[in-house]
């Protein structure tokens, strides 16, 4: 075997994975919670936080993609069937696409609705789109649909990791866990 | 004698023509009342779709000018349906009890050039305050265009009560920007 079974992801890859994972779960919860609120100062505050964190996630994903391209991850276990390998690669590609597309549609939708995104209330992110109500509503739908796709892919991602750990008893899950650095 | 008569005649003609230009026919489709404010540090803007105005303005006699503007507050366009509905509520404009905001001029002062100061009374949500509105006037073809902006404090008019009373999310300063086009009679 060219790749030892105990090969881990790099500490940077692990940190980015878990940091982004926590932010995504928090953002999903916040997103569903805030849209149901009646208009109030709290709601406007939460929307701002959601946007700020969204920009942050986007930047972390840029770093993560750069790291991923320049650092080869551990290979998939030998026992995986070709169809499982295809599914694993497709799922990971889709996660990267969604991690870019969801913050981008959020930002564009915010612009189209006439709310500029000002990162942490300090750094204004330029508006790529002019105010356009119909376009804003469309982008909102796209943002929501992409998030449902994300939830489905995440269920597959977590389910697969648990299957690898408990059924296949390989190191796919543990090599992404903190500690045991090589 | 003939020369004096001619001179007199032309003086009257100039005076007459100057007084003849009185801008009073407001063109609603060429007029706009908008506003801007800060929300969580983000600049927001909106406008009112419906308002009516009466004005009389003769550039030769600005001190005699007058203007009255009535804005239908329920016609607010904040950019979202949710925002429009919220603005109509009791805590904001309370459009049910106070459907219109009104500005009525009390005096116009020429500042030289095309600049003027319009003093008047601004009534929003049952509160009347004296304001001085800086405005410019420009002739565009046969119409006169009046433009200006005025910064007011929403707190002065109890616009944004209850949870909105603090200014940390929605700022106190609101800029009202207007452009009124009126044709000469």
**Digitized pLDDT (tens) for each residue of chain B, 185 residues in all:** 566 666 655 555 555 455 558 899 999 899 999 999 999 989 999 999 999 999 999 989 999 999 999 999 999 999 888 899 999 999 999 999 999 999 999 999 999 999 999 999 999 999 999 999 999 999 988 899 999 999 999 999 999 999 999 999 999 999 999 999 999 87
Residues present in chain A in total: 182
Q: B160 in a domain, yes or no?
A: yes
Cβ within 8 Å, pair B41-A45: no
Coil, strand or helix at B32: strand
Are the C-beta atoms of B45 and B36 separated by less than 8 Å?
A: yes
Cβ within 8 Å, pair B41-A40: no
Domain count, chain B: 1
Q: Following DSSP, what letter does each residue of B109-154 receive, concatenated?
A: EEEETTEEEEEEEEEETTEEEEEEEEEEEEEETTEEEEEEEEEEEG
Among A36, A37, A41, pick the best mutation site for testing chain B contact (most B Cβ within 10 A): A41
Q: What DSSP designation does B97 have?
A: T
Q: Is the pLDDT of residue A64 over 70?
A: yes
Q: Could you give the ipTM of this predicted complex?
A: 0.76
What's the CATH number where B57 sits?
Answer: 2.40.128.110
Quick one: fold of A11-176?
Answer: Fumarate Reductase Cytochrome B subunit (1.20.950)
Q: How far apart (Å, rounded) are the C-alpha atoms in residues B115 and A51?
A: 42
Nearest 10 degrees: Cα torsion A83, A142, A21, A114: 160
Residue A48 contacts B, CB cutoff 8 Å: yes
Q: State pLDDT tens for residues A128-180.
A: 999 888 999 999 999 999 999 999 999 999 999 999 999 999 999 999 998 76
Q: How far apart (Å, rounded) are the C-alpha atoms in residues A174 and A126?
A: 41
Enclosing domain of residue B166: 22-184
CA angle A178/A174/A81 to nearest 5° reads 145
CA-CA-CA-CA torsion sign (B155, B158, B164, B170): negative
Q: B127 in a domain, yes or no?
A: yes
For tokens 């001179």, the residue is: B7
Q: State pLDDT tens for residues A17-51.
A: 999 999 999 999 999 999 999 999 999 999 999 99
Cβ within 8 Å, pair B39-A44: yes
Contacts of B83 in chain A (CB under 8 A): 39
Cβ within 8 Å, pair A44-B170: yes
Contacts of B86 in chain A (CB under 8 A): 39
How many C-beta neighbours within 10 Å does residue B25 have? 14
Among A34, A36, A37, A39, pick the best mutation site for testing chain B contact (most B Cβ within 10 A): A39
Chain B residues within 8 A (CB-CB) of chain A?
39-45, 79-80, 82-83, 85-86, 163-164, 166, 168-170
> Could you tell me how many CB contacts below 8 A there are between chain A and chain B?
44
How many C-beta neighbours within 10 Å does residue A147 have? 19
Are the C-beta atoms of B30 and B53 separated by less than 8 Å?
A: no
The residues in A 67-106 lying below 8 A from B, measured between CB atoms, are: none
Spatial CB neighbours of A5, under 8 Å, sequence gap ≥ 6: A77, A170, A171
Q: B41 in a domain, yes or no?
A: yes
Spatial CB neighbours of B78, under 8 Å, sequence gap ≥ 6: B44, B46, B84, B86, B87
Q: Which residues pair with B54 in a beta bridge?
A: B68
Cβ within 8 Å, pair A41-B86: no
């Amino acid at each position: 075997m060219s790749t030892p079974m105990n090969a881990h992801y790099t500490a940077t890859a692990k940190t980015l994975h878990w940091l982004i994972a926590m932010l995504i779960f928090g953002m999903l919860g916040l997103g569903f919670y805030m849209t149901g609120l009646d208009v109030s100062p709290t709601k406007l505050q939460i929307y701002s936080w959601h946007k700020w964190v969204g920009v942050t996630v986007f930047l972390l994903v840029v770093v993560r993609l750069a790291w991923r391209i320049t650092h080869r991850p551990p290979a998939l276990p030998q026992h995986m069937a070709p169809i499982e390998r295809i599914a694993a690669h497709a799922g990971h590609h889709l996660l990267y696409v969604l991690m870019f597309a969801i913050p981008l549609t959020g930002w564009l939708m915010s612009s189209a609705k006439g709310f500029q995104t000002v990162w942490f209330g300090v750094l204004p992110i330029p508006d790529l789109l002019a105010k356009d109500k119909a376009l804003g509503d469309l982008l909102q739908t796209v943002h929501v649909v992409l998030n449902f796709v994300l939830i489905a892919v995440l269920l597959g991602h977590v389910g697969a990791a648990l299957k690898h750990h408990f059924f296949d008893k390989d190191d796919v899950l543990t090599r992404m866990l903190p500690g045991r650095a090589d | 004698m003939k020369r004096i008569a001619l001179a007199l005649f032309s003086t009257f003609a100039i005076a007459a023509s100057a007084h003849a230009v009185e801008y009073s026919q407001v063109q609603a489709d060429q007029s706009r009342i908008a506003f801007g404010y800060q929300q969580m540090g983000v600049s927001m803007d909106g406008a009112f779709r419906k308002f009516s105005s009466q004005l009389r303005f003769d550039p030769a006699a600005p001190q005699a000018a007058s203007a009255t503007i009535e804005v239908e507050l329920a016609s607010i366009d904040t950019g979202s349906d949710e925002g429009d509905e919220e603005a109509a509520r009791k805590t904001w404009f309370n459009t049910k009890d106070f459907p219109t905001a009104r500005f009525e001029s009390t005096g116009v002062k020429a500042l030289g050039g095309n600049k003027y100061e319009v003093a008047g009374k601004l009534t929003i949500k049952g509160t009347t305050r004296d304001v001085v509105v800086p405005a410019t006037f420009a002739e565009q073809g046969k119409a006169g265009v009046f433009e200006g902006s005025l910064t007011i404090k929403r707190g002065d008019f109890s616009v944004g009560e209850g949870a909105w009373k603090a200014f940390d999310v929605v700022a106190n300063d609101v800029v009202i920007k207007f452009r009124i086009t009126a044709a000469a009679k």
